[in-house]
Chain A
Amino acid sequence: MISKSTATGLILLVLVGSAATVGAQSAPSTLEGMWSNPPTKAIGVFCAFFCTDAGIDRLNALLDDPANDVRPFQQLQSEAAAYQTNGYIRPRLTAAALKTYPVDPADDPGLLRCEAWGLARQMFAPHQLEIHRRGNDLVELHYGEWDARRTVYMDGRKRPANQPSSRLGFSVGRWEGATLVVETTGVSKNLTSWRSEHSDQLHVIERFTRSAKDNTLLLTAIIEDPWSLKEPIVAKKIWAWSPTSQIAPYENCEPITAVKRGTGQP
């Protein structure tokens, strides 16, 4: 007997795995290499920034209902996203976090000041993710979005007690078989991908696994924060194997100051 979330995960892997077959080149023997935008499938598009099992289950149910065959995909996607927001994300937020949730897109520091994202958004960022091992002690995660780089220490060290918090935090990792497990703390107060605020007590465990067909990468992240969350949020993200993709410089961000407020209500 498998749990519903496990079943959802399996469905997700099957869907994305079968999706990326076309045009895929030989897969890597490890997680190392370049991963990029998810396969162009309903679930891949839905998870382009982040998704949850609740949202995926809802989208699958909508797609499996013959009555919805004539409805535009965007409607179904929006309905599943709203379900995910109201049925999964919002109930987990504390009263303190709900005071500002959802943060107005017009207040996004990335938009107003070209301020690069914090960990809770960066880890779900669209576009490329390049994974490099640096010997046995370091793994580097290099993202296309913001050209951001994270260093993951694999040598068992702890975060130095006097280390100040930072935008992407301090990450340590380990291999569990072929799965890369990354644990991050020391992240400065910032925003999540679902537009809630979090504190510097954020604690994230990311698990990166390859699909059975070796051509998609699945991230399952457990996010905890006693200030903003009553219980952990488990969020997911998919990339497709993309060995020829190259991360281009990220040097032309232009701040936008003329914005409209109130456009981001879920």
Chain B
Amino acid sequence: MTRTRQGLLIAAALVLSVKSASSHHSFSAVYDDKRTISVTGVVRQFRFVNPHALMSVEVTDDEGKVVQWTVEFAGRLNLSEVGWTAESVKSGERVTVTGNPAHTIPARMSFLRLVRPDGTVLLPAGPRRADAIEEERRERARLRNQQK
């Protein structure tokens, strides 16, 4: 049984595509937003810091080799706005994390989604932003149609 699940997934449902305005640096030079990847492993550290929160996940591959993945998040402010705290992810937790892989840095991704074994899901701010914008667009269309 593969303990490391890596693969190209069909990228970017709309809810994942509204990038947060979080970056102190360019996302595109580091991460590939055309691809997503998922790994399952044990959290070793979650740092709720600026400019970007970081998480280390220990992932064991098919041969039993342990690989330390680094997951980069938005900064504290953007995560806080959707309820994240320093305690949102705990060391020792087993998680499946999905993100955009780095172009050239091995075992590094930009965070999109975290799932715990009990099915709990943690998301960045992007999906909520996307929902709000789609609601605004629906309202805009409704007002436009009323004026006809």
- Could you list which residues of chain A lie within 8 angstroms of chain B, going by C-beta atoms? 19, 36-37, 40-42, 45, 48-49, 63-64, 66, 69, 72-74, 104-106, 108, 110-111, 126-128, 144-147, 245, 248-254, 256, 258-261, 263-264
Residue pair A73, B14 in contact (C-beta under 8 Å): yes
Min CB–CB distance B111 → chain A (angstroms): 15
A36 in contact with B77 (CB, 8 Å): yes
Q: Does chain A have a CB within 8 A of B130?
A: yes
Specify which chain A residues have a CB less than 8 angstroms from the CB of B24 in the assembled complex: 110, 145-146, 253
Output the least CB separation between B127 and chain A (Å): 11
CB of B25 closer than 8 Å to a CB of A? yes
Asked whether B50 lies within 8 Å of A260 as measured between CB atoms, the reply is no
Q: List the A side residues contacting B104 at CB < 8 Å.
A: 258-260
Separation of A66 and B143 alpha carbons in the complex (Å):
12
For chains A and B in complex, what number of residue pairs have CB atoms within 8 angstroms? 119
Residues of B within 8 A of A254 (CB): 54
**Complex-state Cα separation, A109 to B38, whole angstroms:** 30
- CB pair A110–B77 under 8 Å, yes or no, is no
Q: Determine how close the nearest CB of chain B comes to the CB of A223; give it in whole angstroms.
A: 20
Chain B nearest CB, measured from A15 CB (Å): 9
Known: A146-B24, A259-B103. A69 touches B54 (CB 8 A): no
In the complex, which of the residues B77, B103, B104 has the most CB atoms of chain A within 10 Å of its own CB atom? B77
Chain A residues near B144 (CB-CB < 8 A): 64, 66
Query: B29 touching A45 by the CB < 8 A rule?
Result: no
**Residues of A contacting B47 with CB < 8 Å?**
252
Decide: A126 and B132 in contact? CB cutoff 8 A. Answer: no
Which B residue's beta carbon lies closest to that of A252?
B49
Does B76 interact with chain A (Cβ within 8 Å)?
Answer: yes
In the complex, the answer to whether B133 meets A45 with C-beta atoms within 8 Å is: yes
Q: How far is the CB of B50 from chain A (nearest CB, A)?
A: 5
Interface string of B17-45 (1 = CB under 8 A from A): 11001101110111010000000000000
